[in-house]
Structure 1
Amino acid sequence: MADVIDIAQEIEELALATAIRSRKAAPGLKLQPAGICQNENCGEDVTGDRLFCNRACADEYEETKR
């Protein structure tokens, strides 16, 4: 039984890794305001149309996006 679960977890990990790679590589993908900082290392609440909580998070996002 553990083998089936291990295989399922490996498949799930591969699917997730593929989805993340595809999202990062997608040209023209635009961020939408979501009420939280879009920097994956932050997650602070933001208000209005802002994508990031501050300039440092925006800069860090740009660096990791490349």
Structure 2
Amino acid sequence: MEHILTLINVQIYLQFIEKKNILYDLVYNPSETLFIKKGKEIGCKTLNGYEMLKFQAEMSWNLWTKSTE
């Protein structure tokens, strides 16, 4: 169940979103939040936070291990 503030905030943001927009939600669990779901319904390109989490983990690993891979 979505938190009530999430429901309210998504409704506020949706009035400004058009099909040409790209939506990026930093949340990665659940992978499809209400924001992402509504964006897809509008026809927007959507991304969740998983790729950013993965990239940050890789960069952190490289920093701490001095790895370049």
Q: What TM-score does the superposition give when structure 2 sets the normalisation length?
A: 0.28
Bigger CA radius of gyration: 1
Structure number with greater CO (CA < 8 Å, separation at least 6) is 2
Q: Which has the higher strand share?
A: 2
Q: What TM-score does the superposition give when structure 1 sets the normalisation length?
A: 0.29
